[in-house]
Each structure stands twice: as structure tokens, then as C-alpha cells.
Amino acid sequence: MASWVLSECGLKPLPQVFPRPRAGPISYKPSKIRFLHSNETGTDLKFHSKRVSSGCLRERNWGLKVSAPWRVASVEGEEEREERINGVNGFKEEEEPGFDPGAPPPFNLSNIRAAIPKHCWVKDPWRSVSYVVRDVVVVFALAAAAVYLNKWFVWPLYWAAQGTMFWALFVLGHDCGHGSFSNNHKLNSVVGHLLHSSILVPYHGWRISHRTHHQNHGHVENDESWHPLPERIYKNLDNLTKSFRFNAPFPLFAYPFYLWGRSPGKTGSHFDPNSDLFVPNERKDVITSTVCWTAMAALLVGLGFVMGPGQLLKLYGVPYWVFVMWLDLVTYLHHHGHGDKLPWYRGKEWSYLRGGLTTIDRDYGLINNIHHDIGTHVIHHLFPQIPHYHLIEATEAAKPVLGKYYREPQKSLPLPFHLIGSLIRSLKQDHYVSDSGDVVYYRTDPKISGSSKLK
């Protein structure tokens, strides 16, 4: 079942090719504000890696160097670009005339950043800690109420509510991993370990792989979370694996297996300090997180002896799996299931900005506040340093710049049941992408979907 989940690869420097935008020119005044470092060559993201012989330290520079492209391809170069889209005979979903979601946008990260109010970047550790206190109090109050009432009809309500709160704890730990919780690295690490270990997540192991996801979002091979399988890998999957991967609710239970293993063709574990997920100078962090995870697992075993395994299952086991379902649902739908097909990139066509623009915002109704507005995902992906309590304001400020590259989420009822339909439709349609092409779209396996035509 470890093959349900998706892989992590290191980010590689890519040559700069910027095809002519098709969405029409938009004029912006150059801003003096730059995302970390400015690079006038037009490279959106640079990642430098230095590796020496086996047994020696490998060093990575995670700096981001971003600017808008100063050159675009000629009109004659358009034919060459078309051949890179899904290969020679690939499928491309028809979009609204005049707008190509796979074309380079006529703005850059600096334009988006300049539109966001300065106070949205300010991290308030006291405010962040207050959310932790709120969520922890609710978690213990729910458990106490369930034990006190102890009615058959109360337990299902408790499981749904407590599983959602476990997910809220994960989101706060997620903020610690990004450094958006506070500017204090020690505070982020302590709070992140406490929150993630309590729900059986290895904090540093997850943090490092999640960083790779953000720095490679939208890249077919290098992305970390829920990226598509190339056709050659997909066709080598056995039928049981395909059935589990593309039939609800099985994909919603994938996360624990992902932590222990990786997708087809990849190896590594979030618990193993020697895994190729990590470089040597990160191994101490991974060991620390694995020890914390083990301590929590031992605590749960001890509680099982004290209160009995049945009571532990009701109080912790079932809510844990509800949390896992929330995590897989939210992370999957932030990258899949939009009404129009969205592009994935390879090679010359990929850039940090273009990859981030293929993420999707979602509305979760009343759950928005409970899970700390993680549904405002586009701006979070482009600027993960923005605290969660400023994401909505930052998104509203950025919309005029993003234009059609921002996709308004469908409004939710108090509970986001509409997202179940989006999940099921995507699982029936989004199966693999072409082995060739630098701009690709999901294709459909008719044996799974029941359709006789590739989507």
C-alpha cells in the first residue's frame, strides 16, 4: 500500500526558457521588492547542490532566486513548444478561448508580493501560541465529554470532531515547519514536535520532505505530494494497487504508509536518518523526530494497558484515522479535481511560479476557521512564510495580479460535502500523464473510469 502515495525528489537547476505568454500583456511597474534574492536572468528558482564522494557531507543551498522573465520566445518558437505539450500526439484539454493556464503568466512573484500588505508578513508568536492553546483545550474537552457521556450516539460525533481537531493540530505544526509560526527556530521546533508527535507524525522527517514539495510543486517527477504517475510507471502497477489508489475511500488512508515508504520507483522512509530523503547534516534532526514519535507510540501502548485497548481505540485510534482522512482529502484536492484540467510541468517549462499557480483554493465552510484557513492554498504555496491568519487578506490583495490564474473556490455549505464529489470525479479521471512533453495534463484509464475515451 506504500505505493498509494507520491514521491520526493531533489530540486535541480533548470535552463531558462520562457515561451511567449498567451494571456495577453499586462503592464506592471517594476517593484523594488523581491522574493528573497533578485535574479535578472529570468530564472524563477535556483537550487544549488554540492555533492562529494560517499561518506562525505553534502551541502545544499535552499535559497530562492526569483524574478520575472525579461525575454520571451519568438513566434516561430511556438510550434516547438506545442510539440513539447504532452508529446507529439498528446491530449490537451480545451480551455477558455484566449487563456492558456499552461502558458507563462505575464507577472512575476515580485508583482504578487508587492500587492500583499506588509503586515501580512508579520509573525506574531503570541497569537500563534494562542491557537495552539485553543486547539489543545478543545481536544481534551472533547475527550472528557465523550468519556463522561459515554453514549453510543455520542461516540461517532466525538470521532468526527476529534479527528478534525487532530487535523487542526497538524496544520499548526505545519506552520512551525514552514517557519510561519514564529521567527524563533527553537520555538517552532519545540511546538512542532509536540503537536506532530501527538498525532504520530515525525516532525523533521515530514518537514524536510514537505519543503521539497513546496520547492518542486507542479513538477511531474520532482514534486512530493500527490503528483501524477508517468504512463510507464502507471502501466506497471498491479490491478490491486490501481484499485486502492483510484477508488474512494482507500486513497484517504494513504498517509501513514507514505511516511514509511514511497511511490513506485522510489525508496526511503521519513523515519530513517540514512534515507535518501535527507542529506547527512539533517540526520540528527530526523533521529530526534523518530525518537519523539517512538515515545508517543510507547505512551499509547501504555495507555492501552491502563484503560484497555477498546477505550484507547475509541478515544484516540478512530480520531487518528479521521485525521488521516482529512489530511489526504485536503492535500489531494489542493492539487486535483478542478473543473478544468490543470497543467503539470517538466524540464524547460517548469518554474516555481508556474508550478505554484496550478494549486487550488478550497472552501470548507465552518471548517475554514477550525483548520486555520489552510484552504487558502495558492498564496500559501507561493509564499509559505505568511502566517495562516493573514492568508485570506493576502489572497484578496493578490487576486487582481493573478487574474485568471486564480481559480475561485466553490462556496461551501456549513460542512464541505461538495468536496466528496470533486474527489470521486478526480479519482475516476486523473490517472497518469504522458511519458513525454514538458506541459502535460492528466489522462484517464478507461478500465478504471468505465469510459472508452481517454480524457
**Helical segments of 1-124, H only:** 77-84, 109-115
Q: Which helix (H) or strand (E) holds 344?
A: strand 344-345
Residue 264: the pLDDT is: 59
- Tell me the CA distances in angstroms from 272 to 71, 279, 297, 399, one per residue in order: 44, 12, 16, 41
Residue 226: the pLDDT is: 85
Residue 136: the pLDDT is: 98
Cβ count within 10 A of residue 23: 17
Residue 239: the pLDDT is: 87
Does some domain include residue 375? yes
- Give the predicted TM-score (pTM) of the model: 0.78
Does some domain include residue 53? no
Does some domain include residue 165? yes
Integer Cα distance of 184 and 301 in angstroms: 33
Nearest one of 214, 213, 206, 218 to 268, comparing CA atoms:
206
Residue 339: the pLDDT is: 81
75: exposed, middle or buried (Cβ count in 10 Å: 0-12, 13-18, 19+): exposed
Q: What is the C-alpha end-to-end distance of the chain, expressed in Å?
A: 26
Does some domain include residue 330? yes
CB burial of 281-297 (b: ≥16 within 10 Å; e: otherwise) equals ebeebbebbbebbeebe
Does some domain include residue 26? no
Nearest one of 431, 436, 435, 422 to 451, comparing CA atoms:
431
Per-residue pLDDT of the chain (455 residues; tens, 9 = 90+): 444 433 333 333 334 443 434 444 333 343 333 333 333 333 344 334 333 334 344 443 333 333 333 333 333 344 444 444 444 333 444 444 678 899 999 999 999 999 999 999 999 999 999 999 999 999 999 999 999 999 999 999 999 999 999 999 999 999 999 999 999 999 999 999 999 999 999 999 999 999 999 999 999 999 888 888 999 999 998 888 888 889 999 999 999 999 998 765 667 899 999 998 899 999 999 999 999 999 999 999 999 999 999 999 999 999 999 999 999 999 999 999 888 889 999 999 999 999 999 999 999 999 999 999 999 999 999 999 999 999 999 999 999 999 999 999 999 999 999 999 999 999 999 999 999 999 999 999 988 865 434 34
Residue 243: the pLDDT is: 86
| Domain of 129, in residue numbers | 119-449
Integer Cα distance of 414 and 361 in angstroms: 17
pLDDT in tens, 151-201: 999 999 999 999 999 999 999 999 999 999 999 999 999 999 999 999 999
Nearest one of 359, 363, 407 to 382, comparing CA atoms:
359
- Tell me the CA distances in angstroms from 138 to 156, 163, 211, 373, one per residue in order: 17, 12, 29, 18
Residue 449: the pLDDT is: 65
Residue 341: the pLDDT is: 85
Integer Cα distance of 324 and 318 in angstroms: 10
Residue 225: the pLDDT is: 82
How many folded domains does the chain comprise?
A: 1
Does some domain include residue 265? yes
Does some domain include residue 304? yes
Does some domain include residue 100? no
User: Are the beta carbons of 141 and 200 closer than 8 angstroms?
Assistant: no
